[in-house]
Amino acid sequence: MSDKKFAIDICETKLSLTVVFIASITLFFYNIYIGFIFFIIYLYMLIYNWKLSIIRKKKLSDSIKNLNFDIDQITKKIVMNSPTPICVIEFDGSISIYNEKFYNLVNKEDLVGKNIDTIIENLNLRKVLNESNQMYTDIVFNERDYTVIYNVVKKEEDNKTKYFMILYFEDKTDYLSLSKSYDNEKNVIALLQIDGFNEVLKSTPEDNRLLLSVDIEKILLKIEDDTNGALRKISREQYLLVINKENCLNLEKEKFQVLDKIREISQQNSLPVTLSIGVGRDGNSINENLRMAISALDLALGRGGDQAVVKTNDKFTFYGGKSKAIEKTTKVKSRLIGHALKQIILESEKIFIMGHSYPDMDAMGSAVGVYDICKSFNKNAKIVLDKPNDSIKAFIDRIKSSDYYKNIFIKCDDAIDECTKKTLVIVVDTHRPSYTECKKLLEITEKVAVIDHHRRGIEFINETVLLFHETYVSSTSELITELVQYIDDDVKINKLTAEGLLAGINLDTKNFTFKTGIRTFEAASYLKKVGADTVEVKKLFDSDINDVLIKAEIIQSAKMISENICIATTKAQNKNINIIVAQAADELLNIKDVEASFVLGIRNNKVFISARSLGNMNVHIIMEKLGGGGHKDVAGAQLDVSLDEAYKLLTKTIKECLKEAE
């Protein structure tokens, strides 16, 4: 009997009883005997329906019990005959029930009562239950991948509640294999460019130039064969390679050995052959991969070349970078940039110049050099500077005492108030927005020019009206000096400006020791010609006695952490500590067998690290891993940790880089 029909019968019975009861009461007033008979009938019907109700409830209870039994039987049959491995376990992990598929999965006898963790070791359901809201976990068992789906059920038995977990093992090995195959077949775009090809070719005897080109193409065609890719030459020095993701990952695993093979080419060329590679991978389309490859190649070239950069949607990965950037002997680009900069300056009503925060002599010398260029075109430019540090204080004091540089400096807040979309902001000696003296200006204006020589990092000022970024030069001051010479014949610079530019070159070349080329000496020669006094330049770097003593203490604390790498630290509190650690790092390279030095100092809870190298170790890569940057042989970083933590982190990073280089 259905629940609905049972409910209707109850209602009809109640109605009948009510009618008989009313009738018996009514008849009592007319005929007591007939009323009494009807009341007896009412009592009979009441007792009869009460007994009938008890019988029906018993039948309903028995039916429900039978139904529960049937459901239990059906559930057991479903579990036992399921094509999916299933097992039921108690909360202590002991197995209660399992089906044949689960038995075949684990391939063990007498599973009942055994703990699931002893059979499937990496399941760890207790951890999943405690820490995860998701009702599944992924495992690898017998070299196959499974998603284990589970739910918790409770069972009432002898007035006690017991809890069980039902585990369903979904085999997803084939799906993952197919998904991996599909992913590995995705197209990857790589752009390959021979660094400074014209300069390398000119350094090769004329009879061997064709052989040099042949050797290069042999190696690149070998890459095409090894990767089953498609290689096409798109210009004299640039190639396009299309490969699948699997072969790209193999190249990454080998750390792009083609970079080393290309470098081994020798046809009596005095300049080494190096290759830069930009790879775009995991884009949503081939076009997106191409755009990422172009961006990656620009980054590789901006970091000095001789390296591969792999760009995906969320990160860059770097390989190589062992060689110094090749100096370009031609100054055509400087002439073109100079002409473009002149036009931009002439079109601008308001001009702000700024370097990086905590500016050094290269940044400040470059800024004053640009100021003189603007002044030559009758433009009143201003240099953004909040507070000069001690490394440039002597130079700033000399500038402020000269009427030639009247009102040259402006505070960051004042510059923000005056800046508009049309204001020209010229950034020197950095290309990172967060490193600039006043980042807010870059967000206000639509006209930004960048002049820099540092190896390019991931963070970059992208929206520029002019970009002069050359990593092969010694300093930004060298770039500005070339612009002064070639921007216009009428451009003249002040004697103090020339000394600032020469001081910037001195600083970044460590007195013409590092990163010096022919053009570096030509720039210095020009600055000397227009009045730079080398004695006055030297005075800009004078140190007081306390700084010298701290530097001596640092050198004394130096420890060798490998055959040719030393690290030194100081806990001395000094406002010039960033300058002192840099000078100490330079001094440590004078020690026999030391090829790379790292010095750590602390000021205002910030650790300053200066790194130097004679060229065999790329300290830029190490500092970049710590959030800093620089050049192959001169780099640095700042960390917001304790000095001891910074020392441990630096040591660990150095060892990791040495291991990667093996």
CATH number of the domain where residue 550 is located: 3.10.310.30
Give the residue from 250, 285, 320 where a domain finishes.
Answer: 320
Domain count, the chain: 5
Q: What is the pLDDT of residue 59?
A: 63
Range 439-444 contact pairs with CB under 8 angstroms and sequence separation of 24 or more: 440/412, 440/416, 441/352, 441/354, 441/384, 441/415, 441/416, 444/416, 444/419, 444/420
The tokens for 10 are 């109850």
Angle CA(514)–CA(329)–CA(525) in degrees, nearest 5? Answer: 60
The tokens for 77 are 């049959």
**Cβ–Cβ under 8 Å, residues 570 and 552:** no
Q: Does residue 47 lie within any of the structural domains? A: yes
DSSP H or E run through 4: helix 3-30
For residues 468 and 485, membership in a common domain is answered with yes
Look at the block and give the residue holding tokens 């190249």.
251
Instruction: For residue 318, name the pLDDT band (cuts at 50, 70, 90).
Output: confident
Q: Does residue 326 lie within any of the structural domains? A: no
Average pLDDT estimate for 332-338: 80
For residues 136 and 282, membership in a common domain is answered with no
DSSP string, 54-114: HHHHHHHHHHHHHHHHHHHHHHHHHHHH-SS-EEEEETTSBEEEE-HHHHHHHT-S--TTS
Instruction: For residue 503, name the pLDDT band (cuts at 50, 70, 90).
Output: very high
Q: Does residue 419 lie within any of the structural domains? A: yes
Q: What is the pLDDT of residue 428?
A: 96
Is the pLDDT at 65 greater than 90? The verdict is: no
Q: Which residue has better confidence, 442 or 125?
A: 442
Read off the pLDDT of residues 151-201 as tens digits, 9 standing for 90 and up.
777 766 666 777 788 888 889 999 998 988 888 899 999 999 998 888 889
Average pLDDT estimate for 356-366: 91
pTM, full prediction:
0.65
**Cβ–Cβ under 8 Å, residues 184 and 246:** yes
238-244 β-sheet, strand order: 230-233, 238-244, 187-194, 275-280, 307-311, 316-320
For residues 388 and 258, membership in a common domain is answered with no
Alpha carbons 416 and 437: distance in angstroms, whole number? 12
The alpha helices in 567-618, defined as continuous H runs, are 577-588
Q: Does residue 325 lie within any of the structural domains? A: no
For residues 556 and 491, membership in a common domain is answered with no
Give the residue from 139, 159, 177 where a domain finishes.
Answer: 177
Task: Tell me the range of 31-40, 106-115, 623-632 where mean pLDDT is highest.
Answer: 623-632
Q: Does residue 403 lie within any of the structural domains? A: yes
Average pLDDT, the chain: 84
For residues 219 and 126, membership in a common domain is answered with no
For residues 355 and 424, membership in a common domain is answered with yes
Q: What is the pLDDT of residue 105?
A: 85
Collapsing DSSP to helix, strand or coil, 300 comes out as: helix
The answer for 145, left when phi > 0, alpha when psi is -120 to 50, beta otherwise, is beta
466-469 β-sheet, strand order: 409-410, 381-384, 351-354, 424-428, 447-452, 466-469
Phi and psi, residue 638, nearest 5°: -130, 135
Read off the pLDDT of residues 538-549 as tens digits, 9 standing for 90 and up.
888 877 788 888
Q: Which residue has better confidence, 323 or 385?
A: 385
Average pLDDT estimate for 511-516: 82
For residues 271 and 340, membership in a common domain is answered with no
For residue 365, which of 386, 390, 396 has the smallest C-alpha distance? 396
Is the pLDDT at 439 greater than 90? The verdict is: yes
For residues 565 and 623, membership in a common domain is answered with yes
Give the residue from 51, 79, 107 where a domain finishes.
Answer: 79
Average pLDDT estimate for 560-565: 88
Q: What is the pLDDT of residue 448?
A: 94
Q: Where are the beta strands (DSSP E) in 158-284?
A: 160-171, 187-194, 230-233, 238-244, 275-280
Q: What is the pLDDT of residue 125?
A: 65
DSSP H or E run through 47: helix 32-81
Instruction: For residue 433, name the pLDDT band (cuts at 50, 70, 90).
Output: very high
The tokens for 325 are 């950037």
Q: Does residue 327 lie within any of the structural domains? A: no
Neighbours of 20 (CB within 10 A): 18
Sorted by sequence, the CB contacts under 8 Å of residue 385 that are 6+ apart come out as: 354, 359, 396, 409, 410, 411, 437
CATH number for 263: 3.30.70.270
Q: Which residue has better confidence, 116 or 445?
A: 445
**Cβ–Cβ under 8 Å, residues 280 and 289:** yes
Alpha carbons 444 and 423: distance in angstroms, whole number? 9
Lowest mean pLDDT among 32-46, 138-152, 190-204, 253-267: 32-46
For residues 60 and 142, membership in a common domain is answered with no
Q: Does residue 182 lie within any of the structural domains? A: no
Q: Which residue has better confidence, 374 or 113?
A: 374
Structural domain including 367 reads 332-539
Q: What is the pLDDT of residue 162?
A: 73
Q: Does residue 231 lie within any of the structural domains? A: yes
For residues 468 and 601, membership in a common domain is answered with no
Read off the pLDDT of residues 207-243 as tens digits, 9 standing for 90 and up.
999 999 999 999 999 999 999 999 999 998 999 999 9
Instruction: For residue 576, name the pLDDT band (cuts at 50, 70, 90).
Output: confident
Alpha carbons 618 and 321: distance in angstroms, whole number? 7
Average pLDDT estimate for 580-603: 90
CATH number for 99: 3.30.450.20
Q: What is the pLDDT of residue 261?
A: 92
Alpha carbons 300 and 310: distance in angstroms, whole number? 9
Q: Amino acid identity, residue 530?
A: V
For residues 380 and 486, membership in a common domain is answered with yes
For residues 454 and 504, membership in a common domain is answered with yes
Instruction: For residue 12, name the pLDDT band (cuts at 50, 70, 90).
Output: low
